[in-house]
Structure formats: C-alpha cells, structure tokens
Amino acid sequence: MYGNARARYLDVDVTSRVEGASPHRLIAILFEELDKTVDAMAAAQARGDAGRTFGAQSRALTILHGLETSLDFKRGGEIAPGLATIYREARRLLRAAAQESSPERTQRAREMLREIAGAWTAIG
C-alpha cells in the first residue's frame, strides 16, 4: 500500500519538476533521476535483492538511452560522440553489474555518470 503511494508521489514530484523546465534543466533532471536509480540499484545489490536490482537497472538503462538519443550530433561537435560512448559504456557496466552481481561495476558506472552530471550542472 505505502509503496504505491510513494510511487505516485515520486511521479508527481518528477512531473512538477519537468513542467516548464528549460531543455538544459530537463537533462539535469534526467541526470538526477539516473543518480537516484543507480543508487537504488547499488542498495538492492548490497541487500542481495535481485528483483529490485534488475528493476533499477532497467530504469537506469532507459534513462541512459534517453540521454543518448537527446544528443545533437550535428551541433554537438566532438562532445556528442564522446558522450554517446560514455553512455554506452555505462549501460554495458550496469548490465554486467546486474548479471554478475558486481557492486564494483555499479560503482564505476556511477562515478562516470556523476562526472558527466557535474559537468552538465557546471555549464548550466
């Protein structure tokens, strides 16, 4: 019961942050949600909860796909292909982390993504 209420609250929270946000802020929101999701994956791994690990992994992979498809390769210069490579590597690490129950791979992906998110925030 409380899980459903929490999920609805989180949906409302994300929706309220997205409405009226600039394109730059929308990407920042994706990074924030990605960070929370990778944290949830790491916590589930630590508990040995495979179901929640794979659920969080699925959400993280979806967000990473969204970030990659939002890249503008025509105007992005060298940055867009570089980011695409990082997003693909993060997806690979998260898939392997869930399959192998490897917190180390989750941590590597988290560090890569936090570095990119920090840079995004700094230019905003």
CATH of the domain at 106: 1.20.120.340
Closest CA relative to residue 60, chosen from 39, 85, 81, 79:
39
How many domains would you assign to the chain?
A: 1
Neighbouring residues of 95: CB distance < 8 A, sequence distance ≥ 6: 57, 61
Give domain status of residue 88, yes or no.
yes
What pLDDT, on the 0 to 100 scale, is given for residue 124? 76
Give domain status of residue 98, yes or no.
yes
CA dist 90 and 11 (Å) reads 25
Residue 97 sits in which domain range? 23-123
Give domain status of residue 4, yes or no.
no
* Cα 24 versus chain centre, distance: 16
What pLDDT, on the 0 to 100 scale, is given for residue 19? 72
Neighbouring residues of 83: CB distance < 8 A, sequence distance ≥ 6: 67, 68, 71, 76, 116
Give domain status of residue 17, yes or no.
no
What pLDDT, on the 0 to 100 scale, is given for residue 2? 57
Q: What is the mean pLDDT of each run of 10 residues along the chain (124 residues)?
A: 58 64 88 96 94 95 96 93 97 96 95 96 88
What pLDDT, on the 0 to 100 scale, is given for residue 23? 84
